[in-house]
Structure 1
């Protein structure tokens, strides 16, 4: 039997993306997000309008979408409540975010130069997509979120994930880090508690007996 529920979170499961952009001073910003989906060579990204990533993306009009594997969950979680913006909204302060200009160092990740765009890639991510911004528009009436459309201009994939003799990723070998209702999953299993879920007060499910 179905029950009518006023769902507080509509976050049924999407891949985590570490999006790297370039700050005004040329330094690197790195932020985890998972409101992303792909069609053809384009990707739609949903992000808070006030975020440093959105500001950088609108100014530089380029980024790198770094796709972490499930094995990278600890590094991603270290970034969960960090922001590259000195000016924090009351909402972020309430959730416990803190300003951190050195995101790569905080996550213990390695920046490497890109081929086409100015933003750096994350060396540890098995898949890295260099992208150019082609459109950005408000996602809601209050302009609290922005929908960005980017085009992939170059893809980097670990050799072991490429089906031999093709330009395709091995779907069995690729184990993406998934965020489902603000919790981390890989291979169908919950990997570890999420700082983001705690900040958002997402209730923990009761294990089946």
Structure 2
């Protein structure tokens, strides 16, 4: 789970939870809807902070669910019940603190903060007329890392103690730590059908390996899972 802080027009800051992120060395890839306030801010300023919450922060993160910094609220988010929230830090109850190399603030309560600059933006599904321009992968470069002393490995200056670091994890829209579900998730109340795109229909029609038979469009996902022996949903976390 990542809380991305970015700078709005003027002096206010946006704060958005998301889980479509991965790291390669000192770079991270962030999957975002281009209509989100976070994406708009990244495109305009080229800066953000990736704040990693601990599992104890699930209630604060959940308070940001179904809110967006975008005004007006995009139609796709209106259908899912989102509303405009101009003060994301106030809504979450989290504390902004100044960053060292970028304008967006860090989240004081998060044990890990990474100040980043945007290096490239990679369109996703750009060859598809129905999906073109809706989603992008933002490649960001980490240029400063802040770590709470409580999770630093004793006797080191550059290692995290995995027994002390308890990250918040979003699994299929629900909150987990390194164990059982921690807290009810408001985001998990959104019906799955509201996330469907043309790619979801194509996935149902894709033939199984070694079997040319096409699945019917109405085939339940559980049947696909049994037939293939393996199936993982592509959907990640927040689309703020």
TM over 0.5: yes
Greater shift in the superposed pair: 135-144 or 172-181: 135-144
Structure 2: gaps (5+ residues): 127-131, 194-240
CA distance in 2, matches of 1:147, 1:200: 25
Take 2:76 and 2:12, find their aligned partners in 1: how far apart are those partners? 26
Distance 1:103 1:170 in 2: 30
1:28 to 7, 10, 13: 13
Q: Give the 5 Å matches for 1:19-168.
A: 19-141=4-126, 142-166=132-156, 167-168=158-159
Structure 1 residues 40-97: Cα deviation after superposition (integer angstroms, max 9, x where no partner): 1000000111000000011110100000000000000000111001122221001110
TM superposition shift of 1:200:
3.3
Structure-2 separation of matches of 1:138 and 1:112: 32
Aligned Cα RMSD in Å? 1.1
Tell me how many residue pairs correspond in the alignment.
187
Q: 2:161 aligns with which of 155, 170, 173?
A: 170
Q: 1:200 and 1:61 mapped to 2: Cα distance?
A: 33
Deviates further, 57-66 or 134-143: 134-143
Question: Residue 182 of structure 2 is aligned with which of 173, 187, 191?
Answer: 191
Q: Which has the higher strand share?
A: 1
Q: Distance in 2 between matches of 1:26 and 1:200?
A: 35
Matched residue of 1:176: which SS? coil
Deviation, structure 1 residue 25: 1.1
TM-score by length of 2: 0.76
Q: Provide the C-alpha distance between the structure 1 equivalents of 2:150 and 2:59, rounded to a whole number of angstroms.
A: 22
Structure 1 gap segments, 5+ residues each: 1-15, 203-209
SS of the residue 2:103 aligns to: coil
Distance in structure 2 (CA, Å) of the matches to 1:77 and 1:40 = 29
Deviation at 1:26, TM superposition (A): 2.2
How big is each residue's C-alpha offset from its partner over 1:157-189, in whole Å with a ceiling of 9 and x where there is no partner?
Answer: 000111123201111111110000111101221
TM-score, with structure 1 as normaliser = 0.87
Q: Quick check: which has more Rg, 1 or 2?
A: 2
Q: What is the deviation of 1:143?
A: 1.9
2:183 match: secondary structure: coil
In the TM superposition, residue 201 of structure 1 has moved relative to its aligned partner by 4.6
